[in-house]
Amino acid sequence: MKSSSNVRPAIILQLGNGSYHYNYNIVEEKVEDPETGEKTVYNYDTVQVWQKPDYENLTHAVIRSEIDETEEFSLINDYYAAQLGIETDEDRKAKAVADYKAHLSRVIAIKTMVKNDLLTEGY
């Protein structure tokens, strides 16, 4: 979920109802406000988890916020069909490999981000 705030958000925010927000991709931006002049806003992504934040559940939540299991299985199946020679169309084979490689690169980036954020927050 995309979020925005005038105050820098905590990376991990306990909501008090047994859930937590994990705020990531936090970007500070200066914007012009007609009433107050320039102000700072923070744009970021948020996922909610219902257990104490750890590497596994935050990684899972972020990945699932970007791609559901059905889409991910489709990427995997298309990739293996290309690798095993079941898919014979060269354009579809190339697309399957490129799409799956991009997905794996994104997963690695998410895992690295979560690990670093947990270290920063002392989890």
Q: Where are the domains of the chain?
A: 2-121
Per residue in 64-120, pLDDT (tens digit) is: 999 999 999 999 999 999 999 999 999 999 999 999 999 999 999 999 999 999 999
pLDDT given for residue 65 in this prediction: 98
Supply φ then ψ for residue 36, to 5 degrees: -115, 0
> Quick check: 66 and 106 in contact, CB under 8 A?
yes
pLDDT given for residue 27 in this prediction: 97
Q: How far is CA 93 from CA 62, 82, 104, in A?
A: 28, 5, 17
pLDDT given for residue 10 in this prediction: 97
